[in-house]
A = this chain, B = another copy of it.
Amino acid sequence: MPVAIVGATVNDKPNFMAVAWFSKVNNNPPMMMIGIGKEKYTGEGIKENMAFSINIPGKDLVKETDYCGLKSGRTEDKSRLFEVFYGETGTAPMIQECSVNYELKLVETIELPGNNLFIGEIVAAYTDEKSLSGQKPDLPKTEPLILVVSPTPHYYDLGSQIADAFKIGNDLTK
Give the B-binding residues of A (Cβ under 8 A): 1-2, 21-29, 31, 33, 35, 59, 62-71, 76, 81, 108, 110, 112-115, 117, 119, 133-134, 136-140, 145-151, 153-174
Q: Whole-angstrom distance from the CB of A98 to the nearest CB of chain B?
A: 16
Complex: how many Å from CA A12 to CA B23?
Answer: 30
Total copies of the chain: 2
Q: Whole-angstrom distance from the CB of A133 to the nearest CB of chain B?
A: 4
Q: Whole-angstrom distance from the CB of A172 to the nearest CB of chain B?
A: 4
Q: Are B23 and A33 in contact (CB under 8 A)?
A: yes
Q: What are 5 sample pairs from A and B whose C-beta atoms fall under 8 A apart?
A: A22-B23, A62-B168, A63-B172, A76-B174, A146-B158
